[in-house]
A and B are shown apart, each in its own frame.
Chain A
Amino acid sequence: MKNNIKIYRVMKGYSQEQLAVLVNVSRQTINALEAAKYVPSTVLALKLSNVLGKKMEELFELEEGD
């Protein structure tokens, strides 16, 4: 699954650390999410969507083979 978290985070002017604090996870988790190494739970995905002010479909995209 692809995601655009990094793009929208930078557009919002947040650092990984700030975003991590806002969604209550570690900075490493944000890093792993942006590198597509980790797929978040629905709860975390919804939190990210709220904080970044974007719809889930804008944040996450299915890839071929998903």
Chain B
Amino acid sequence: MPAEPADASWRPVLDRSIVLRYDRVRGTDLLLMPERAVRLSGAGGRILRLCDGTRTVPAIVAELAETFPDAPLDAEVPAFLDRVRTQGWLR
């Protein structure tokens, strides 16, 4: 399912309180924030690294499609970004 029309102009960027970094000890991407660390699995970190406030969601999907041509990105990426936004981690 395509992103909602209202989201077409959304250029997601991590909230200022959040740090995204690779944890070399645990071999995983983490979101760090006050009092909390969230483990990102799968392509979560790769998707969020594209959220730099310049790319729209369709642009992020298009960029990922170059690496993952067969993945159901149109449905999964916007849904993932919405979940992260609901947590207050994306603006």
Physical interaction between A and B = no
Residues of A within 8 A of B (CB): none
